[in-house]
A and B are shown apart, each in its own frame.
Chain A
Amino acid sequence: DAKTTQPNSMESNEEEPVHLPCNHSTISGTDYIHWYRQLPSQGPEYVIHGLTSNVNNRMASLAIAEDRKSSTLILHRATLRDAAVYYCILFDRGSTLGRLYFGRGTQLTVWP
């Protein structure tokens, strides 16, 4: 399974932008970069995904390095509700059956 490296924890103040980094130096050409997050006492939920170009949706933005060996999830204005564990996952669409490999993720703390 393809590996990602994320910081164990990060902190932010409410209404400030948050940049969550992810390193994936062994990414292959067919790997998509997916982000999920897990709020307290809930199952993980999809946040965003991308292949080469930067992506935006209502939840976040994903910035992908030109060499694709790293990416950054951007929360433009953190809220208390964004406090969660964020997982960066490489997903090979050529692999069977949509398996996702979850690492330990980054625990984001948001201070009021």
Chain B
Amino acid sequence: DVKVTQSSRYLVKRTGEKVFLECVQDMDHENMFWYRQDPGLGLRLIYFSYDVKMKEKGDIPEGYSVSREKKERFSLILESASTNQTSMYLCASSAAGTERYEQYFGPGTRLTVT
């Protein structure tokens, strides 16, 4: 069974802290994605990666950075957390060039910044 796991389901951090959100997939997928989901705004893409050490900005990259040192792991970094980054963060992965281009999602991390 395919699996995308995220390091925490719930996280509470203080303003100004550095925050790491980890995502691991066990499907040998090339592509990995970080979204945030807020009420009324749907899912918005923050960053994505199509290969190790490669990254592309999504629609809302400001205030975030990412790291992909290994194929199975994609980290989202909040350099200095702010209250407007309180959100649900979802990681996904997909295989390149498949028929369905299906994205597999993790369960999400609900981050609260106080």
Please report A residues at the B interface, Cβ cutoff 8 Å: 32, 34, 36, 41-46, 49, 87, 91, 93, 96-105
What residues of B have a CB within 8 angstroms of the CB of A34 in the complex? 101
Please report B residues at the A interface, Cβ cutoff 8 Å: 4, 31, 33, 35, 40-45, 48, 50, 56, 58, 90, 92, 94, 96, 100-108
What residues of B have a CB within 8 angstroms of the CB of A43 in the complex? 4, 90, 92, 105-108
Chain B interface SS verdict (over half): strand
What residues of A have a CB within 8 angstroms of the CB of B96 in the complex? 97-98
Is the CB–CB distance between B107 and A91 below 8 Å? no
Is the CB–CB distance between B102 and A97 below 8 Å? no
Is the CB–CB distance between B94 and A104 below 8 Å? no
Instruction: Tell me how many residue pairs across A and B have CB atoms closer than 8 Å.
Output: 57
Nearest residue, chain A, Cβ from B58: A99
Q: Chain B CB within 10 Å — which of A45, A97, A100, A101 has the most?
A: A97
Is the CB–CB distance between B105 and A44 below 8 Å? yes
